[in-house]
Amino acid sequence: MTGPKTKLGRLAGAAFTALAATAGAASAQPLTVVELFTSQGCSSCPPANANLIKVKDQPGVLALSFNVTYWDYLGWKDTFGRQEFTQRQVNYEPPLGHDGPFTPQVVVNGSADAVGAKPGEIERLISTSPQAKGPALSLGDGKVSIGAGSAPGGSADVWLVRYRQGVVEVPVARGENTGRTLPHANVVHSLERLGRWNGQATTLPLPAATGGLSTAVLVQTPGGGPILAAAAN
């Protein structure tokens, strides 16, 4: 036979369990990955940079700036530009129905894109793009843990992204943006393929981040296809 205090304790425990389950469900919500391909040498890019800043702290959104290199010839070498970022954008273009890369370009979950320079354009793209529906993905204890699931085509790439969280201001001395100081949000510094996922539960080693950089991992269909899962710390 239980007394009032015991019943009260059980009720409190049940309420706590329900609250924890709700919190767990919220934390398990898939991330929406928003990639901005931009260049400090592109006069059309600053509005898209500013729009990415507006969504970078939105819950459930992983916003990343990839600076490309193909406008460097205009007189300003992008301080964050890397050839592998350019190649990532190039890989996206055929599946998205484009003949070649352009800036600015926003790609959401690897499956939908827009220029991203108009007010509210990135927010609309986020709200209308398909959500990532892939395996469970977590980072911790020096490893990447990927759950079992369906890998379209039999396998997916696992990408390691290191980025500087927050906003950085870059003064531009030459080229189309001469004399301007351009803000950048969550600038990507490196992109590396960690391995492959074939649908089976997998664990991969996660190298420690250095230089104060943050970490994101993307599980993505090869060849610039949809992002199946994403996690960040």
Mean pLDDT on 86-99: 98
In the chain, where the domains are located: 30-232
User: Does residue 174 register a pLDDT over 50?
Assistant: yes
Q: How far apart are CA 29 and CA 51, in angstroms?
A: 23
pLDDT attached to residue 29: 64
The mean pLDDT of 171-198, rounded to a whole number, is 97
Contact 217, 86 (CB under 8 A): no
In three-state form (DSSP H/G/I as H, E/B as E, the rest C), the secondary structure along 11-62 is HHHHHHHHHHHHHHHHHCCCCEEEEEEECCCCCCCHHHHHHHHHHCCCCCEE
User: Between 95 and 132, where is the model more confident?
Assistant: 95
Lowest mean pLDDT among 8-22, 77-91, 140-154, 218-232: 8-22
Cα(134)–Cα(203) distance, integer angstroms:
16
- Over residues 1-36, the pLDDT tens digits come to 444 444 444 444 444 344 333 333 333 468 999 999
Residue 73 per-residue DSSP state: G
Query: What predicted TM-score, i.e. pTM, was given to this entire model?
Result: 0.87
The pLDDT value given to residue 2: 41
Give the Cα separation of 210 and 156 in Å (integer).
26
Average pLDDT for the chain: 90
In the block, which residue shows the tokens 């100081």? 181
Structure tokens of 72? 């460097």
| Residue range 139-149, pLDDT digits in tens | 999 999 999 99
More confident residue, 18 or 53: 53
The encoded tokens of residue 117 equal 């320079």
Q: Reduced to 3 states, what is the DSSP secondary structure of residue 75?
A: coil
